[in-house]
């Protein structure tokens, strides 16, 4: 598995502050390790990549909801004109469409 920025960030490192990646066509590698912390092993990076992807996938419902919710200004206007219960009904439609897994 390739070394990914996502995996290193999942481990708490910052791109260009703690590490610099490079891809010369043969795969991505850590060109420079700038962190004072010990450089993680390839195995630890691969594990972190899998964990980061699993965490990302688990939040798919939230990303889909966010794309469909009305803008905050429109939600506040809805509350002002129609009350909390009407707003809740609007939001519930999206929550029901994309339930938490």
**What CATH number should be reported for the domain holding residue 32?**
3.30.56.60
Looking at the fold, whether 30 and 67 belong to one and the same domain comes out as no
Predicted structure pTM score: 0.72
pLDDT of 1 over the 90 cut: no
Looking at the fold, whether 28 and 48 belong to one and the same domain comes out as yes
pLDDT of 48 over the 90 cut: yes
Looking at the fold, whether 46 and 12 belong to one and the same domain comes out as yes
- Predicted confidence at residue 2, as pLDDT, reads 80
Write out the two tokens for 69: 């919710």
Looking at the fold, whether 36 and 11 belong to one and the same domain comes out as yes
Give the count of domains, the chain: 2
Share of the chain above pLDDT 70, in %: 99
What range does the domain containing 19 cover?
A: 5-58
Element (H, E) at 36: none
Phi first, then psi: what are they for 56, rounded to 5°? -65, -45
Q: How many residues are there in the chain?
A: 101
């Amino acid at each position: 598995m390739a070394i990914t920025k996502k995996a290193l960030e999942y481990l708490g490192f910052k791109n260009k502050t703690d590490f610099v990646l490079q891809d010369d066509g043969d795969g991505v590698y850590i060109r420079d390790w700038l962190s004072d912390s010990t450089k993680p092993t390839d195995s630890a990076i691969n594990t972190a990549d899998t964990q980061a992807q699993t965490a990302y996938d688990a939040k798919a419902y939230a990303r889909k909801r966010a794309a469909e919710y009305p803008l905050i200004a429109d939600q506040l206007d809805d509350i002002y004109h129609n009350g909390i219960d009407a707003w809740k009904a609007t939001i519930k439609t999206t929550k029901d469409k994309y339930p938490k897994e």
